[in-house]
Structure 1
Amino acid sequence: MVRGPVRALLLLLAVLLAWGSAGCGGGAVARPDGAERAVRAAVSAWSAKPPAALAAVPLEGWTYEVTSVRRDGARASARAELRYRLTGYDAAPAGSARALTLSEDGAGWHVTGDRPAPGALPQLWDQSPVSVVRAEHVLVLGAAGRTRESLEEIAVVAGRAVPEVGAAWPRPWAGRLVVLVPADLDAMAALLGRPADSYRGLAAVTTGLVGVSPAPADRIVVNPQAYEGLSELGRQVVLTHESTHVATRSATTASTPLWLSEGFADWAAYRSAGRTPAEAAPALRRAVNRGELPSALPPNEAFTFGGDAQAMARAYEGAWLACRLIADRWGEAALVRLYAEAGRNPLPTALRSTLDTDLPNLTQTWQSALREELR
């Protein structure tokens, strides 16, 4: 029940809101003139068909929403938000801010250029025509210059990762992967908006918004040169690791420590690989044997790209061994619960509720395991 004074206040607010939207011009929105409407119509008509560079890509919902128009005589520029889905892979529309140029002739307005808006990242098709390879649960999009054989190999390896990840992370996830293979390291860096040196030596990375559901499928972006230099096992580990990030994305938030997210991904990747700690953690093994036992679980900043490669290797190896320890001592189901809880609550709370321990005890147990297993 709404009582008298509250009801009167609500009525007053309704009147003020209605007045504010219709009176004094404060809420007035300028309507586009005829020429601007023609520009918008031209963009709509032009965007009804995706570009030729995407002819082989399974697309749906390809639309441009014009957000602003500027005209200068027979020329115009427009800002627009591109929305699209990769059919069967994107649970929600993916997006890209675009800058369009148009010109007018006797027949009307025509789009003459389409590029990423200032500050926006390019799409793979901005760099070259795109080739497509499919495998079960996997869509691989490759840039010009990537051979079909190399794309098919990546599709097979990624396809093997899907059931491996499902076994390690038994909670719901899409079970589908989108892999982008740019032409080279520089093209990869351009797609991700960072200097090439940030990714030199990294075979793949995953893009996506943490803690968002539904969201477009994450994109696994491969660094061709680094990937091709790996062994068969190395390639499988890399793509299974990145696929694990795809699976756990909705459970990952800003509160999830990187040692847990990266360590869990490596744990899933090495889970059936048959590698011992000494074999899979050489950088950390050397440090421990020099008497440099880590004093704490790896901090978030230890996983920063472009820093000390050996320090980052030790961080990843230590994170993996921490998750391996939790799975062995408390059980794999407990590790999964810890991951989910750490995305919702502070780590001390998550440790207490899932493992009935605290961070100092976990750290000491981990240090003891390092001494024993890395000798």
Structure 2
Amino acid sequence: MAGRRRTARAVARRTAGFGLTALLLVPACTSRTAPVDPTAEAVRRTLDARADAVVRHDRDAWLDAVDPAATALREAQGTEFDNLRDVPVGTWEYTVEGVRHQDGRAVADTRLRYRIDGYDAAPVVASRIVELAERDGRWYITADRPGSGAPQQLWQQGDVEAVRGSHSLVLGVGQDGKRLRDLAAAADLAVPAVTDAWPEKWAGRVVVLVPPSLEDMGRLLGAPAAGYRGIAAVTTGESGGGPDAPADRVVVNPEAYGLLGAFGQDVVLTHETVHVATRAHTSAATPMWLSEGFADWVAYRDSGRTAEESAPELRDAVRGGDVPASLPEDEAFSFGGDAGALARAYEGGWLACELIAERWGEERLTAFYRTVGEAEHRDGAVEHALARELGVTVEDFTAQWRDHLRERLG
């Protein structure tokens, strides 16, 4: 908002090295506190200074926390800081979860939490392992790496270029400026389209990351890249997350996304933005056919495309007499398997949501989505929501869905 400025803050939270105060039931009723680990306190001070350097854009202070004798590390850390220059960091903090002592050195298990100013209502959270050594009474960083299985951050892959849209922020590494601007334009169209279809309050903005390659996409996601080959984009996030849940990111596969035409790219960005908007109402009880089908329903909602055009794999199956017997199982949405089966799963979920919107109305569709997500367990969640919101059983709905496939695709 114009005329207002957020205050950046940086702090290493204190969660390790302290014991709980115990009230002892003895005549004098004394209290005892576990001793503070002086090394853990020194580590926190080093990380506090490092965090403060980021939000103040102070390169010298950032490097001041790095071991003066570690020449290669200091060079790498300087490059990383420079890569981060265009990212509008609002807050940056480390939570120290534990400090281990190893031969005069310290290994700190930490969680990095940072927010992008103007876009993140909650922080991104990343596990980091920081190694330190003591020199002249002060602790310096000698290594900083992701925790086991944790993803890389975009600025660790190269110099980040930022493009700001009216509802979006696109951060890319090794990308043509026009591609990033086009992505921002597509995201800016996606956000109001999602807001129009999804009545619940959400942030109304999206952050898109574009890594240099498919391999780098896998590193951002902390997973093998092969599983995302042919997948244009994915959304990271925590299902059922409230206001304190980690922030979402749309991560674009630069190889697969680039093969799409303008319409396909718009559909992808809208689909992923739906996941950002609905995250708080998506839980372990939500089947994939509903979460993915609803995202596709919003993406195709005002496209003017026919079902035959938007569901070619399922169209061919239905015309060949192979009408699915049941709604797609979660396993059918797995990446890295049969591409045709994956497409049919997405198309089947989309047409299930289209059926609800056409027969019961769009308000009933969104109410159904919310009710499923409110369930504590998967078992019975869809059955309960179908009965409450649509007045049908699973068997009735499945039969109507199969008829809908024949009508729309036959």
Q: Is the TM-score greater than 0.5?
A: yes
In the alignment, structure 1 residue 265 sits paired with structure 2 residue 295: yes
Deviations 1:154-199 (A, max 9, x none): 1110110011111111221111101111111011111112211211
- SS of residue in 2 equivalent to 1:326: helix
Instruction: Look up the SS of the partner of 1:254 in the other structure.
Output: coil
1:279 corresponds, among 309, 315, 334, to 309
- Which of 50, 74, 90 aligns to 1:60? It is 90
- Root mean square deviation, CA, Å: 2.3
Q: 1:38 — aligned with what?
A: 42
Superposition TM-score, scaled by structure 1 size: 0.89
Q: 1:208 touches 1:219 (CA, 8 Å); kept in 2?
A: yes
1:364 partnered with 2:404: no
Letter in structure 1 aligned against 2:334: T
Structure 2 residue identity aligned to 1:38: A
C-alpha offsets along residues 258-283 of structure 1, whole Å, 9 cap, x if unaligned? 11111110000001111101111110
Q: Tell me the CA shift for residue 53 of structure 1.
A: 2.3
Given the alignment of the two structures, is residue 293 of structure 1 paired with residue 328 of structure 2, yes or no? no
- Whether the aligned pair in 1 keeps the contact of 2:123 and 2:247 (CA below 8 Å) is no
* Paired amino acid for 2:370: A
Aligned residue pairs total 356
Give the structure 1 partner of residue 257 of structure 2: 227
Q: Structure 2: which 5+ runs fail to align?
A: 1-20, 55-80, 376-380
* Secondary structure at the counterpart of residue 331 of structure 2: helix
2:175 counterpart SS class: coil
Indicate yes or no: 2:59 matched with 1:29: no
Does 2:409 align with 1:374? yes
Q: Partners in 1 of 2:84 and 2:310 — Cα distance?
A: 40
Amino acid at match of 1:84: Y
Number of the residue aligned with 1:165: 194
Residue identity matched to 1:123: Q
1:185 and 2:182 matched? no
For residues 299-318 of structure 1, what are the structure 2 equivalents within 5 Å? Answer: 299-318=329-348
Structure 1 position 223, deviation (Å):
0.2
Structure 1: how far apart are the matches of 2:290 and 2:136? 62
Give structure 1 stretches of 5+ with no counterpart.
1-15
8 Å contact from structure 1 (residues 20, 27) kept in 2: no
Structure 1, residues 221-271: CA drift from partner, whole Å, max 9, x if none?
000000000011000001100101111111111111111111110000001
Q: Among the aligned pairs, what percent are the same residue? A: 50
Could you list the per-position Cα deviations for residues 28-87 of structure 1 after superposition, in whole angstroms to 9, with x for gaps in the alignment?
A: 634213x55333322222222123321111112211222333455664432222121111
User: Any idea what the Cα deviations from partners look like across 1:320-375, whole Å, max 9, x if unmatched?
Assistant: 11111111111111111111111124111111111111111111111112112212
> Would the aligned equivalents of 2:22 and 2:33 in 1 still touch at CA under 8 Å?
no
Aligned pairs (5 A) from 1:244-263: 244-263=274-293
Taking a change above 3 Å as real, the CA distance of residues 368 and 188 of structure 1, as seen in their structure-2 partners, is: same
In the alignment, does 2:119 pair up with 1:89? yes
Is the 2:22–2:32 contact (alpha carbons within 8 Å) kept by the matching residues of 1? no
Q: Which amino acid counterpart does residue 235 of structure 1 have in structure 2?
A: Q
Change in 2 beyond 3 A, CA 1:31/1:311: same
Q: For 2:53, what is the secondary structure of its paired residue?
A: coil
Q: Which moved more, 1:97-106 or 1:354-363?
A: 97-106
Equivalent in the alignment of 2:52: 48
- What is the CA-CA distance between 1:17 and the residue it aligns to? 5.8
- What secondary structure does 2:169 align onto? strand
- Show the counterpart of 1:208: 237
Task: Indicate conservation of the 8 Å contact 1:178/1:217, yes or no.
Answer: no
